[in-house]
Amino acid sequence: YDLAEGRLVFFKDSWHLDADDITPEGKIYAELSDHHVPHVPQCLASGDVESWPEQKTQTRQHSQSPWACRKGLSIMPHIHYQLILDLVGEALTSFSSSKELVQVIHDALVGEL
């Protein structure tokens, strides 16, 4: 809930790959907005969670420890990430008609293309 604006927002808390070639989801929303792509929610805020110690997975550092059960696995590190969008979706069962549902699916596909 956005107290300043008095409205519901979508808050996504996730972990993304810690790799240079991965574009953060917030930057993708910004690019879509810059290109005026219709039916795409506005990203109000996004970024890696800043804290000390860093919010990174530790599995990779311990995967070769003597006590590790399965050594040699390819384990990619992840970073804690948060995103806030200005739009909160509805359950697919809440639409009042088939036409409304098809319109929403259409809008989502246009936003994705």
111 — alpha (psi -120 to 50), left (phi > 0) or beta?
alpha
Residue-by-residue pLDDT tens, the chain, 113 positions: 888 889 999 999 999 999 999 999 999 999 999 999 988 999 999 999 988 878 888 887 777 788 878 777 778 899 999 999 998 888 878 889 999 989 888 888 887 65
Q: What is the pLDDT of residue 64?
A: 77
d(CA 79, CA 85): 20
- Per domain, the residue ranges of the chain are 10-110
Q: What is the DSSP track for 26-59?
A: HHHHHHHHHTT-TT---EEEEEEPP-SS--B--H
Q: What is the pLDDT of residue 46?
A: 97
Q: How much is the pTM?
A: 0.76
d(CA 8, CA 14): 19
